[in-house]
Structure 1
Amino acid sequence: MLNEFKAFIMRGNVLDLAVAVIIGAAFGKIVTSLTEDVLMPVIGRIFGGLDFSSYFLVLGDVPANLQGSSDYAALKKAGVPLLGYGEFITQAVNFVIVAFIIFLLLRVVSRILPKPDAPAAVEPADITLLREIRDEIRSGKTA
């Protein structure tokens, strides 16, 4: 079983996938930073607030020590039910950025890599035989 696992891990697909996951995680951090540190403050400023993640609705009772608090993280940690639409919007913007960059990357790669030639369609044997019979009948040869 250990040898089978070793063979599985050493296959090219698994190693390629591992590299892709590591690069993807690093890329995700870059996109998260771009979203949280560059884009969302600008969007928040346009819509009247500097911290977009602080947009939420309180859906339940707030403990006495947090009454009047606008700290989303503290309220969430205290177990207050919140509808954090600002955080959702931040994550949605994150997703759109990642999806757009992947789209651009695939577009560039598809233009750079040569397109494989389509394999010639192989005619079924019965069709080939029927064509040969037809051609012999047309030529007037008989066996």
Structure 2
Amino acid sequence: MGMMQEFREFAVKGNVIDLAVGVIIGGAFGKIVGSLVDDVIMPVVGSIVGSLDFSNLYLPLGKIPEGTAPTLAAMKAAGVPTLAYGSFISVAINFLILAFIIFIMVKQINRLKRAEVSAPAAPAAPSEDVLLLREIRDSLKK
């Protein structure tokens, strides 16, 4: 069997296609959650904490040139090394939300799988031949 034939069989298996669909949907879902965190959750958290813009929280690690505005973008433009911990907080919240949603999804899928497995099929009724053979056996025992 040629390598192209083996690759084609591998590529068209259901698992590979399912994985590709999962990666595409996961990427789109990641963008949705990123927007939720950046545009909805972080402004609310910032207003509760005191009008903080988490994306602008940083710690300069070098000397700040005079006349530089105290924003993260200005520090980066001036070449000042910074520790942008506000961005890290946003990404960490993004991760926690994604992890929680995936946990809920996997939990529900497992629950549905258990429901399918836990309902065993009723045994099939014996055929007429088996019933007739049992009657014959019982009559011979007498």
Q: 1:6-61: per-residue Cα shift (whole Å, max 9, x none)?
A: 22211111111000000000110110011000000011111223421101111113
Distance across 1 between alignment mates of 2:43 and 2:60: 23
| 1:110 is the counterpart of 2:104 | no
Q: Which residue does the alignment assign to 2:35?
A: 33
Q: Which residue does the alignment assign to 1:87?
A: 87
TM-score, length-scaled by structure 2: 0.71
Give the match's secondary structure for 1:36. helix
Cα distance, 1:77 vs structure 2? 4.8
Change (3 A) 1:78 1:68: closer
Count of equivalent residues? 115
Distance across 1 between alignment mates of 2:82 and 2:93: 20
Identity, % of aligned positions: 53
Give the match's secondary structure for 1:49. coil
Change (3 A) 1:22 1:74: farther
Distance across 2 between alignment mates of 1:11 and 1:78: 52
Q: Which residue does the alignment assign to 1:132?
A: none
**1:33 is aligned with what amino acid?**
S
| 1:47 is the counterpart of 2:49 | yes
For structure 1, list consecutive stretches of 5 or more residues without a partner in the other structure. 118-143
Distance across 1 between alignment mates of 2:32 and 2:16: 24
Distance across 1 between alignment mates of 2:6 and 2:112: 37
Distance across 2 between alignment mates of 1:83 and 1:102: 30
Distance across 2 between alignment mates of 1:101 and 1:59: 36
RMSD of equivalent CA atoms: 2.0
